Amino acid sequence: MQASSLYSSGHDDGNAPLRGGPGLSIQPPPLALYVHFPWCVRKCPYCDFNSHAPHGGEIPFAAWVDAVLGDLEASLPQVWGRRLVSVFIGGGTPSLLPARELERLLDALRARLRLVPGAEITLEANPGTVEAARFRAFYAAGVNRLSLGVQSFDDRALASIGRIHDGRAARVAAAAASATFERVNLDLIYALPGQTTAIAMADVETALGFGGGHLSCYQLTLEPNTPFAHDPPARPDEDAAADMEDAIAARLAEAGFGHYEVSAFARDGQCCAHNLNYWTFGDYLGLGPGAHGKITTADGVVREMRHKHPARYLEGAARGDFVQERRTVGAAELPFEFMMNALRLRAGVPAALFAERTGLPDTTISAERTRAVEAGLLDPDPLRLCPTARGRRFLNDLLQIFLP
């Protein structure tokens, strides 16, 4: 991976620099778009995302698209004239969308916002909700990257976490995705109930067999307010989970995958542009129920959250009421927010990016950087903000140094 591909803005939106900290200005960072589809066939017991099984089995697809487009219209003044580097449609299970509604959504987005040439457009999909013809229709609508939540190819492992698909459906979907899209991500979860390192590595080998360029490998965690948090399943202990993590990283490195982010591995040229924009503190407009956004304005960095519950969001759309929370991030909070994103990248970011994206002088974090370096958590290179191997292992300890 070239550093320029990670950190340069790569866009020309014609905007004048915005005000920043004392004596500084902020060039508007790259802008991405996230669209949230909040429905699933069934809620998984480990999932704490804003996802809901539809009441009565009916999903209001057309009403959701209408609401998202109304949300976009109301938001255009915040991003007028800027170009999108990526679009990510997540959920939930957005692959439940009829292809005609996805096409209507993407056509309307392109009519209202300019995209950079070759902009990444990702759709999340789950096995059991798709077939080859559906993937081809999504591709024809403009999706050029698919993120497939297989989680595992092992029947028992999938049943243990409440997935609606089995290993065969996962393999069929992965094969169809690889045959349709040049850019495919497969999600895997390890440290599953009853899983051994051998079973976890079998999942990795199966995933590699489909020839894709990106894998996301997450350890199963018990998130608050989920069924698994209230009634935890028996899982591998911490040492066993660490062994799985090390084995996965070693095998993927052998296969030519760079471990570029905490849970993400990619071959050259296959890193997720949308997620890199998050980690380098770029801007993103969030549309749809519960979607979060971050927009750099002349008054500072503004964070927004849409109404979370789908019914509330759809009801509010009739009144043009989409935003549940909006706040300007205070200068004291910006260093932590920047670091919380940037230090997820194993290679870190250029030190100059801190001032460029926050509008604060780099001296703002001088004392904290010194403490982090002395603790062995941050690389001493003055030109980079990069966690050491120890910093990656104890990332929460590193981030706490930068708390306000």
Q: How many CA atoms lie within 13 A of 115 on its CB side?
A: 17
Same domain, 67 and 169: yes
Q: Would you say residue 4 has pLDDT above 70?
A: no
Per residue in 202-223, pLDDT (tens digit) is 999 999 999 999 999 999 999 9
**Count of domains for the chain:** 2
Same domain, 35 and 178: yes
Q: Is residue 299 part of a domain?
A: no
Q: Which residue has the higher pLDDT, 4 or 374?
A: 374
Same domain, 259 and 134: yes
184 backbone dihedrals φ, ψ, rounded to 5°? -135, 135
Question: Cα–Cα distance between 106 and 142 in angstroms, integer?
Answer: 7
Residue 162 is given by DSSP the state T
Same domain, 59 and 197: yes
Strand pairing report for 258-261 and 384-385: unpaired
* Predicted confidence band of residue 17 (pLDDT cuts 50, 70, 90): low
Decide if 97 contacts 285 (C-beta within 8 A). Answer: no
Same domain, 35 and 113: yes
Decide if 95 contacts 342 (C-beta within 8 A). Answer: no
pLDDT at position 7: 37
Decide if 133 contacts 109 (C-beta within 8 A). Answer: no
Same domain, 255 and 371: no
In terms of residue numbers, what domain contains 381? 331-404
User: Which of 231, 256, 277 is the C-terminal boundary of a domain?
Assistant: 277
pLDDT at position 18: 54
Q: Would you say residue 379 has pLDDT above 90?
A: yes
Q: Is residue 314 part of a domain?
A: no
Same domain, 269 and 355: no
Q: What is the CATH number of the domain that holds 164?
A: 3.80.30.20
Please report, for the chain, how many H helices and E strands are present, in that order: 16, 16
Q: Three-state SS string across 31-70, please?
A: EEEEEEECECCCCCCCCCCCCECCHHHCCCHHHHHHHHHH
Q: Is residue 269 part of a domain?
A: yes
Per residue in 236-272, pLDDT (tens digit) is 999 999 999 999 999 999 999 999 999 999 999 999 9
**Mean pLDDT value across the chain:** 92
pLDDT at position 59: 96
Same domain, 33 and 138: yes
pLDDT at position 26: 63
Same domain, 141 and 268: yes
Q: Would you say residue 19 has pLDDT above 70?
A: no
Q: Is residue 379 part of a domain?
A: yes
Q: Is residue 318 part of a domain?
A: no
Same domain, 98 and 234: yes
Q: Is residue 152 part of a domain?
A: yes
Q: Is residue 324 part of a domain?
A: no
Token code pair at residue 233: 């399943």
Question: Nearest to residue 128, comparing CAs of 155, 164, 152?
Answer: 164
In sequence order, what DSSP letters do the residues of 254-280 get, joined into one string?
HTT-EEEETTEEE-TT-S-HHHHHHHT
Per residue in 292-323, pLDDT (tens digit) is 999 999 889 999 999 999 999 999 999 999 99
* Predicted confidence band of residue 23 (pLDDT cuts 50, 70, 90): very low
pLDDT at position 327: 96
Q: Is residue 301 part of a domain?
A: no
Q: What is the CATH number of the domain that holds 376?
A: 1.10.10.920
Beta partners for 385? 349
* Predicted confidence band of residue 56 (pLDDT cuts 50, 70, 90): confident
